[in-house]
Amino acid sequence: MSDRYTYRITWSAEDGEHVGLCAEFPLLSWLAPTPARALAGIRRLVRGCVEDMKQNGESPPEPIADRAYSGKFLVRVPPETHRALALRAAEEGVSLNRLVSARLASDGV
């Protein structure tokens, strides 16, 4: 299962090395001099954590890629923001949902 988790490699200027991260295990990281070694290290670390969790009767997190998403979520915003977005949607002749969806998508989410 650890091969289906979401991994990311980034550069840490503070550490002067590449950092391997796993979205499903946000508290784990692995520093290495190359991206390939950072990826190998974080994958090994996650694999070990998953094995430990299973041995202790715990359920490892489900990979993000395997989760089902409804396409709906509730976001709370200040009333002024809600009003401004509703006004903008009306001015553009679209629904508030379409406006917010388009703006989220354009932010590269």
Distance CA 31, CA 13 (A): 12
> Which of the four pLDDT bands, split at 50, 70 and 90, describes residue 106?
confident
- The model's pLDDT over 40-91, given as tens digits with 9 standing for 90+, comes to 999 999 999 999 999 999 999 999 999 999 999 899 999 999 999 999 999 9
- The model's pLDDT over 9-43, given as tens digits with 9 standing for 90+, comes to 999 999 999 999 999 999 999 999 999 999 999 99
Measured over all CA atoms, what is the biggest interatomic distance in the chain, rounded to whole angstroms?
58
Domain spanning 2-64, CATH architecture? 2-Layer Sandwich (3.30)
Q: Where are the domains of the chain?
A: 2-64, 69-106
Give the predicted TM-score (pTM) of the model: 0.72
What is the percent of the chain with per-residue pLDDT over 90, rounded to a whole number?
88
Say if residues 71 and 77 touch (Cβ distance below 8 Å).
Answer: no
Say if residues 17 and 6 touch (Cβ distance below 8 Å).
Answer: no
pLDDT of residue 20: 98
Secondary-structure percent of the chain, ordered helix, strand, coil, rounded to 5: 50, 15, 40
